[in-house]
Chains A and B, each alone.
Chain A
Amino acid sequence: MARNKLRDPWPRARWSASGWVQENRRIGGEAVAFLSMRLGTSLLVWLLVGIALALPAGLYLLQVNLTEMTASWEGRPGLSIYFRHGSGDAALALSDALTARAEVALVVVTSSEQALADFRANTSLGDTLTLLDDNPLPASLRATLVPGAGVADLERLAEFARVAPGADEVVVEKTWLERITILSSVVRRLGMILAVLFGVGAVLVTSTSVRLAIEARLEELRVLKLVGATDRQLRRPFLYFGALYGVGGGLVAAMLISFGLLVIESPLENLLGSYDQTLEISGFGGAFLVTLLTTGGLLGIIGALLAVRQRLRHLRIL
């Protein structure tokens, strides 16, 4: 026992929960007061961090909504087969063959007579066809794939249809679904790149701001170190600064995204309305907000850690 005492005459203070809470409450209060006193600088930092977070978060929302849209969209990939004149029976035979395949959900056959009737009904050019001796429109068939069927299924089906008797032309449809899926993938990757770039930006902004806060409190740090504050104690107020800058930035990002959604809501409604779709923004809820604030807070803490580590390493007391 005596030997231990000799080895460690200055033992570490015992950790106590109440002491920890008391210290953190005091330091948190002081950090809030410090940022309030420099409100202009704080607002600028919040705005910068907010913009840095809003862009990738906005792209994330866009990607989530595109995915949602593709899930609810009724249009699915398929193919259209146009037959040579007089091949109406061949169309019916191929229809039976396709209906029997597992990847096909629906087959609709349009005879040349039906095509003519549709043309007359839907266009103003119907009367001009009376000038022709024969019906120029071919019989056709449209096959729609089951949900989840991929491009490979579509290509295989197209190969099958091309060699069918009477088939003249096979058109593989690149539907909106595929385009939106591709677009969604592009947006997701773009979002990831921007998240990394702007995340680094947010870290640098908070790091610089915290560094300025450190410079403003250098004398206090020297005194604290002189009276026996540990590095953890010296770091703590600045981690609060970083976290507050980050969380504030997250809040600003949420406000910017809300504003952006408000601005694009009306034209987006019109666009979707033209496709018989209604606007339902998903993903912008409580969980999104919490994630945004947490991410902001974490980036702020990382920035603060970088600044504190760099500055305190070379701090001379006297």
Chain B
Amino acid sequence: MTIEFHQVSKRFDNGIDGLRDVSATFEEGSMTFLTGHSGAGKSTFLKLLLCLERPTRGQVLVNGVNVTQLKPSRLPHYRRNLGAVFQDHHLLAHRSVFDNVAIPLRVVGMRERDLAKRVRAALSAVGLLERDAMSPGALSTGEQQRVGIARAVASRPKILLADEPTGNLDPGLSRSIMGLFEQFNQVGPTVIVASHDVSLIEAMDHRIIELSNGSILRDEEYAGDRASFESGVESA
């Protein structure tokens, strides 16, 4: 799915600007890293896409539809096309790894037999198939993050969003997690990963958008030698 931000601004109730006049286009099947210091607007960017926040101004178009104006009754059906991964996983401690990954599939009413296949496939992809009966609390932080990723991709979303997915992981695990996102991106979804770890994302050959104080500071496509060019930069 193609994602377009058209002059999007978000001002919170406390007067702080989350985003300022941001415009960017994400082609279907592309992979992009959002980076910037804490408070730069990365999370706000993703929340606007998830319709967890509404912009103060501007449009967020997904496949040509302004999702900021979707009726509340339509939001669940839109969100079923998205997969989201967060730094703190949001795994349910009282449910098994299997049941955590199965949540989005049960929401869409998938038959249990198909659901079991899909969950096992997702767990297998993140290397946790043998841990399916365990409680998330019994897993390491890196494994919990991989369960979160398995849950996000199990429903085969059209858009995969991740907010600081490697926030509390060591460099080795971080590279492995980013590798998983690359792997899923190759299957088809548009992937946007927010991360403050510049050295990690610059080592990967994908587009990088750097935000600062809610505005786009740079928008670079990977071009072998990472030569900077201005494509898509419409920041104020």
Chain B residues lying within 8 Å of A230, measured Cβ to Cβ, are 73, 76
Report the stretch among B7-15, B29-37, B102-110 that lies at the interface. B102-110
A317 on the interface (CB 8 Å rule)?
Answer: yes
Hey, which chain B residues are within 8 Å of A229, CB to CB? 76, 107
Report if A13-B108 is in contact (Cβ < 8 Å); known contacts: A226-B79, A226-B84: yes
B228 at the interface (CB under 8 A from A): no
Chain A residues near B223: list those with CB within 8 A. none
CB of A235 closer than 8 Å to a CB of B: no
Say whether B155 faces chain A, with CB atoms less than 8 Å apart: yes
7 tightest A-B contacts by CB?
A: A228-B80, A227-B104, A228-B79, A19-B109, A10-B77, A228-B76, A230-B76
Given contacts A224-B107, A228-B107, contact A317 B80 (CB under 8 A): no
Instruction: State in angstroms the CA–CA spacing of A233 and B80 once bound together.
Output: 13
Tell me, in angstroms, the Cα distance from A9 to B61 when the chains sit together: 12
Residue of A nearest to B70 (CB): A10
Q: Is B117 an interface residue (CB 8 A)?
A: no
Q: Which residue of B lies closest to A233 (CB)?
A: B107
Chain B residue numbers with a CB within 8 Å of A22 are: 109, 111-112
Taken together as a complex, chains A and B put the C-alpha atoms of A248 and B175 apart, in Å, by 54
Residues in B whose Cβ lies below 8 Å from that of A10 = 74, 77-78, 80-81
6 A/B residue pairs, CB under 8 Å, sorted by A: A7-B65, A9-B62, A224-B103, A228-B82, A230-B73, A316-B52
- A94-B68 Cα distance, complex, nearest whole Å: 94
Chain B residues whose C-beta falls within 8 Å of the C-beta of A9 in the assembled complex: 62-65
CB of A20 to closest CB in B, whole Å:
8
Does residue A222 face the partner (Cβ distance < 8 Å to B)?
yes
Bitwise, A2-26 to B at CB < 8 A (1) or not (0) is 0000110111110010111011001
Instruction: Across the interface, name the chain B residue whose C-beta is closest to A216.
Output: B94
Q: How many A-B residue pairs have CB under 8 A?
A: 77
Q: In the complex, what's the smallest C-beta–C-beta distance from A286 to chain B, in angstroms?
A: 36
Asked if A227 and B65 sit within 8 Å, CB to CB, the answer is no
User: Which residues of chain A are within 8 angstroms of B63 by Cβ–Cβ distance?
Assistant: 6, 9
Contact status B77-A222, CB under 8 Å: no
Known: A13-B80, A13-B108. 17 other contacts (CB 8 A): A6-B63, A10-B78, A13-B109, A19-B109, A19-B111, A22-B111, A223-B90, A223-B103, A224-B103, A227-B80, A227-B151, A228-B79, A228-B81, A228-B82, A231-B76, A233-B107, A318-B47
Inter-chain CA distance A78–B89, complex, in Å, is: 84
Contact of B107 among A16, A18, A227, A318 (CB under 8 A): A227
Establish whether residues A227 and B111, one from each chain, have CB atoms under 8 Å apart when the complex forms.
Answer: no
User: Complex Cα distance A16/B84, Å?
Assistant: 27
Is B92 on the interface with A (CB-CB < 8 A)?
A: yes
Is B173 close to A, CB under 8 A? no
The complex places the Cα of A16 from the Cα of B106 at a distance, in Å, of: 13
Interface centre among A222, A227, A230 (most CB of B within 10 A): A227
Residues of B within 8 A of A6 (CB): 63-65
Interface-central residue, A20, A23, A231, A317, by most chain B CB under 10 Å: A317
